[in-house]
Structure 1
Amino acid sequence: MAKNRNEIAEDRKWDLTSVFDTDQAWDDEYEVVSKELDDAKKLAGHLTDSAASLLATTKIELAIAQRVEKLYVYASMKNDQDTTVAKYQELQAKATALYAKFGETFAFYEPEFMTLTDGELAEFKVEVPELNDFNHFFEKLLSKKAHVLSSAEEALLAGAGEIFGASAETFEILDNADIIFPTIKDSEGNDVQLTHGNYISFMENKVREIRKNAYQALYSIYNQFQNTYAKTLGSNVKVHNFQAKTRKYSSARAAALAENHIPESVFDTLVESVNKHLPLLHRYVNLRKEILGINDLKMYDMYAPLSDLDYKFTYDQAVDKTIDTLKIFGPDYLERVKRSFDERWIDVEENKGKRSGAYSGGSYDTDAFMLLNWHDTLDNLFTLVHEMGHSMHSTFTRENQPYVYGDYSIFLAEIASTTNENILTETLLEEIKDDKTRFAILNHYLDGFRGTVFRQTQFAEFEHDIHEADAAGTVLTSEFLNNLYADLNEKYYGISKEENPEIQYEWARIPHFYYNYYVFQYSTGFAAASYLAEKIVHGTEQDKENYLNYLKAGNSDYPLDVIARAGVDMTNSVYLDEAFKVFETRLTELEELVAKGAHLNG
């Protein structure tokens, strides 16, 4: 059973006092920023009065945004560490409301900025040269000119921000705080309450009956609440489609990808390439069936370890391995990695009410904190290395860019994290020569590729289909969502949907379906990372330098241009083809090891 928060050792909990010393300090800052937003309302209508006005207002908006972000990060992380604490639910609600107030206050900015002609903006820059510091910021704004509404309309949409986010917030509360999963038996016959955090451990159990019981127990709850989940997801999709239509985009996908200046063809190329390579996934599924000796392979068998080797890492061992692996990036990178451990950036252990999964967070003015739900598995080592990639990306960006460019696009986010994962795989395969351990590592890599490139593209297809269905007038009932998801799952895995009835409810437990076309970037990011990892491990010092420059670039240029300078052209399918070549090479080696009996005891 998961511990209470107060039972977790301090050195296994993140230290948020570096953000705000106390909750009272947060409250004090909240009041000050709220008052400054009230005062900022007088700026409306004067943005383009002069070059000086444009500069001053831009600086004020960014300065307040920076402080709102910090307030939100503290509140959300405090809430995530235990979602049952009413006080931090309240803080997060207040922070969300403050974000909405910020958006409403500065809703005038874009419409007023769009009234400037190119000539007027050029004259302003001559008059006040400091405006040139915001050239790329202004350029990105102008690219959205056709989609910015009037000041009154923008204020109306901004004011509805809390309403638009209600479905996603309802899902989070329901899924993390209110849902209680059944109690099941573990390997020793003990009663254990199923949680988001320990579910994957049950799915990785070598005893099939335990996997089956955990799987059926979990999905019995999603079956029970499928109509509620359908309503929250369906309402969220309606928000995306409404916002896209209101802003004159052709679709929700077009609107979402436009935020990062990503052509829709990048999405379509991914789906096309993955579908073309589905025979590789089917080949892996068939190998899994052979190794496990199972004729009727089920979805709850997809995470069962194929190796008899119990290859685990304690958290302390994982820290050492992370440091050893990431030293390849050089002393500057490694120094920051060590700081993350020494200065308690990481919330390590699972506790009751804690948000499930893992993430890297923080804001421009804070450390790049990480949330984990640690279990002593190889997978959790990879999770730590993955989140460390995000946190180092954030750290280098924030240290090298001003606030206006001190973040990075979602499209680039998954590249830094999965590059670390790929380097860890390369490191382990280079170090380890015995067949049984290599088998375990290859098993993990292939499962990771399946879970990232294949699975996330499956999610992307589902997400796109439900947005298109809603736009066409289809009601997203639980029955519709169940059937759509079951069909996609059968296409991807070649496993009968009739013989795997629980999988139809999987869509209900995926939080990323609320993130507005986020998931496809896991797949593109992993494929690009595969290519970059090869350059870092086997390439030149210049390749490493190019990669570190990518980490430092932040939002100072368009995402495709930033990653192109690191050595990856993501406008064509070459990087995807190269990723699938690596997958096939390692799948072939696994097949050869199976032929040698490397997966067997003895």
Structure 2
Amino acid sequence: MTQAIDRMQLDNPQEWDLSDLYQNFSDPNFSQDLESLQQQASEFRDAHRGKVKDLSADQLAECFKTLEAIAEKSGYLYAFPSLIFSADTRNTEAKQFLDKVMEALTGIENQLLFFDLELQKLDAAKFETLQKASTLATYQHYLNRIAKYRPHTLSEEVEQTRNQDSLTGRQAFIQLRSVHLGEQEYEPVTTPDGRIVSTESELSALLYHPDAEIRTAGYQSVRKVMKQHNSLYAYILNSVAQDHKIENQMRGYESTLQKQLLADEVSEPVFRAIMQGTGDRFDLFQRYYTLKGQALGQKIRTADLYAPWGTEATPAVTYKTGVETLLSALDQFDPNYARRAEEFFVKNWVDAKVRPGKRGGAFCSYTYGKHSYLLMSYTDDYNSLFTLAHEMGHGLHFAWIDDRQTYFNSNPPMVLAEIASTFNELLLLDYLLKQAKNDKALTKSLITRQLEDQLNLLFRQSTISRLELAVHERAAQSSFDQSFVNQEWMKLYQTLCGDAVEVLPEHQYDWARIGHIYFKPFYCYQYTASNIVSLACYQKYLEVGKDFIPGYLELLAAGGSLDQVTALRQYVGVDIEDPATIRGALTYVEKLLDQLQASL
């Protein structure tokens, strides 16, 4: 399986090849596709505006196919400048083309807004008839989603205005933060081996360094920039939250939370159960870091959360070794699954190179009808390897969706969207533990890393959503500044950490690094929810073995064609609405803690 990988030059992290989309910004196909898309949207509007109420089920199915084709090509046009900009936020040409494309696509979206709006205005009997039509069976979930938004839909003119305003309103503020962060330069840190570290990704990687002074220097360098621009990032967050408040009032949502839960297909009782269930078990977080502090002979600080347990640094993992290790782990699960992953590296769909100006964090960008592109900054460590496994999980999920679903069913609900990524990490962990069975230091490092990953997903991510609850509740009443966000974040973190972890003063600025609180409110609790479900899936896989795989792959392939509660029950027998599922995840962490404590 790895012959193609062996032939590749993977000694250094690779850069992606976007030629599956366009060759460059001068590619004639780029401008031609944009022009033809605008014409196609205009023709569709002329043919159907004001006439949706008269469409038969067969005619509606044909309209859906046309809209899907437009959306697919729109995805190519957006992805190309967006991906180039993410890889280098200092690329002014990419920024200009991204702005141009976003403006054009907003115009196209406004041309087509009438269709869903007219569908939503159909009388109940007519709409129900369409929902039951066999020719529209593929689009049943899509129609059900349209029905749920009926109480919150505005007139076509207002919807168009909202879309246009987004370019210079909420979306512009979100983009401003990305541009501003990309322009920042960080105080360099020199490591004991003489290496000078100055990018955000490399400085963050120093949090795993065995030397406390190096960890502190890396931690402070990044947060010094967050402190310097504290008021700006709070102003942006306040502007985004205020825009959500205005939209809530216009659409009749009770809150930003209600609006987002509707989009996520998660009921509020499930959300509250997750927040309550994790909030009741902060003792697990505190117990772990108390043990770690005892082992290191010091009280753990927020700069030390990811410090290695031993005195020796965990061995480096080169990019080539990391790729080969991940593919071997996936191959033991399912050879075809691994083969699909290998394609990402062979065809350069991954950008893992570390460079200034690159967007922080990691992501998988799915382009329907093509494939996914993965972005990360690989820093030759196990954390990078697990990040690669995580994003590859997304990429493989979308590969299965692309095989089976139409465009309208290609976007899985958010809890489902994170399952494959976490599942991949669990596959990698088990593989590495088997390989390291005679290496006690590495085994311990992997177990503690898994514990820290679980504590992050279950407790840190849900704590971020607790901050968002406070932010959006405050925004509903009045505006806020950096003092409010800093104080709320510190208060929440001190509650989480208790006496086990010293929350350093610089941590009050840390919230500004969390992109999701700007991009999509209440995204982070879904990491918690999805992790809970992923653990349930993985435990079933360990119980039944290879017989689990067909149902799991069917779950991935379902995409957004089913309600996620139904999909989980139908394909893998997991019930997210059952409190026992939440308890099962917390019990898994508790057992890992028991295992760790017994080995000390």
TM-score range, shorter chain: over 0.9
Which residue of structure 2 lines up, in the alignment, with residue 509 of structure 1?
A: 513
Which 10-residue stretch deviates more, 44-53 or 63-72? 44-53
Q: Is the 8 A contact 2:68 2:408 kept in 1?
A: yes
| Distance (whole Å) between structure 1 residues aligned to residue 13 and residue 317 of structure 2 | 18
Which residue of structure 1 lines up, in the alignment, with residue 544 of structure 2?
A: 539
Q: Is the 8 A contact 1:204 1:304 kept in 2?
A: yes
Q: CA deviation at 1:500?
A: 1.5
Q: CA deviation at 1:541?
A: 3.3
User: What's the TM-score once normalised by structure 1's chain length?
Assistant: 0.92
Is 1:225 paired with 2:225?
A: no
Change (3 A) 1:303 1:245: same
Q: How many residues align?
A: 583
Q: CA deviation at 1:56?
A: 4.3
| Distance (whole Å) between structure 1 residues aligned to residue 170 and residue 331 of structure 2 | 44
Which residue of structure 1 lines up, in the alignment, with residue 188 of structure 2?
A: 183
Which residue of structure 1 lines up, in the alignment, with residue 403 of structure 2?
A: 399
Which 10-residue stretch deviates more, 532-541 or 67-76? 532-541
| Distance (whole Å) between structure 1 residues aligned to residue 540 and residue 514 of structure 2 | 33
Which residue of structure 1 lines up, in the alignment, with residue 21 of structure 2?
A: 19
Question: Match for 2:274 among 266, 270, 276?
Answer: 270
**Structure 1 unaligned spans of 5+:** 1-7, 595-602
Which residue of structure 2 lines up, in the alignment, with residue 168 of structure 1?
A: 174
Is 1:572 paired with 2:581?
A: no
Write the letter of the residue equivalent to 1:249.
Y
Change (3 A) 1:451 1:355: same
Q: Is the 8 A contact 2:45 2:111 kept in 1?
A: yes
Is 1:213 paired with 2:225?
A: no
Which residue of structure 2 lines up, in the alignment, with residue 441 of structure 1?
A: 446
Q: Is the 8 A contact 1:361 1:368 kept in 2?
A: yes
| Distance (whole Å) between structure 1 residues aligned to residue 583 and residue 295 of structure 2 | 27
Q: Is the 8 A contact 2:290 2:500 kept in 1?
A: no
1:55-94 superposed matches below 5 A: 55-94=61-100
User: RMSD of the alignment, in Å?
Assistant: 2.2
Q: SS of 1:361's equivalent?
A: strand
User: What's the TM-score once normalised by structure 2's chain length?
Assistant: 0.92
Which residue of structure 2 lines up, in the alignment, with residue 426 of structure 1?
A: 430
Q: CA deviation at 1:544?
A: 1.4
Is 1:367 paired with 2:343?
A: no
1:424-573 superposed matches below 5 A: 424-434=428-438, 435-473=440-478, 475-494=479-498, 500-514=504-518, 515-565=520-570, 566-573=572-579
| Distance (whole Å) between structure 2 residues aligned to residue 32 and residue 348 of structure 1 | 34
Which residue of structure 2 lines up, in the alignment, with residue 257 of structure 1?
A: 261
Question: Match for 1:136 among 111, 135, 141?
Answer: 141
Write the letter of the residue equivalent to 2:321.
Q
Q: Is the 8 A contact 1:298 1:495 kept in 2?
A: no
Q: Is the 8 A contact 1:425 1:441 kept in 2?
A: yes
Q: SS of 2:52's equivalent?
A: coil
Question: Match for 1:347 among 340, 345, 351?
Answer: 351
| Distance (whole Å) between structure 2 residues aligned to residue 322 and residue 217 of structure 1 | 32
Which residue of structure 2 lines up, in the alignment, with residue 285 of structure 1?
A: 289
Q: Is the 8 A contact 1:100 1:159 kept in 2?
A: yes
Change (3 A) 1:148 1:592: same
Q: Is the 8 A contact 2:462 2:528 kept in 1?
A: yes
* Identity %, equivalent residues: 24
Question: Match for 1:114 among 95, 109, 120?
Answer: 120
Q: CA deviation at 1:124?
A: 5.9
Q: CA deviation at 1:497?
A: 9.6
Which 10-residue stretch deviates more, 11-20 or 502-511? 11-20
| Distance (whole Å) between structure 2 residues aligned to residue 106 and residue 471 of structure 1 | 32
Q: CA deviation at 1:488?
A: 0.6
**Structure 2 unaligned spans of 5+:** 1-9
Deviations 1:213-267 (A, max 9, x none): 2222221221111110001111111122222222111111111110132101121
Which 10-residue stretch deviates more, 257-266 or 276-285? 257-266
Q: SS of 1:16's equivalent?
A: coil
Q: CA deviation at 1:189?
A: 4.6
| Distance (whole Å) between structure 1 residues aligned to residue 432 and residue 490 of structure 2 | 36
Deviations 1:517-554 (A, max 9, x none): 11111111112111211222332433211111001101
Q: SS of 1:12's equivalent?
A: coil
Change (3 A) 1:45 1:219: same
| Distance (whole Å) between structure 2 residues aligned to residue 161 and residue 41 of structure 1 | 22
Q: SS of 2:189's equivalent?
A: strand
Which residue of structure 2 lines up, in the alignment, with residue 597 of structure 1?
A: none
| Distance (whole Å) between structure 2 residues aligned to residue 563 and residue 244 of structure 1 | 30
| Distance (whole Å) between structure 2 residues aligned to residue 371 and residue 136 of structure 1 | 31
1:306-325 superposed matches below 5 A: 306-307=309-310, 308=312, 310-325=314-329
Which 10-residue stretch deviates more, 532-541 or 164-173? 532-541
Write the letter of the residue equivalent to 2:283.
P
Change (3 A) 1:40 1:318: same
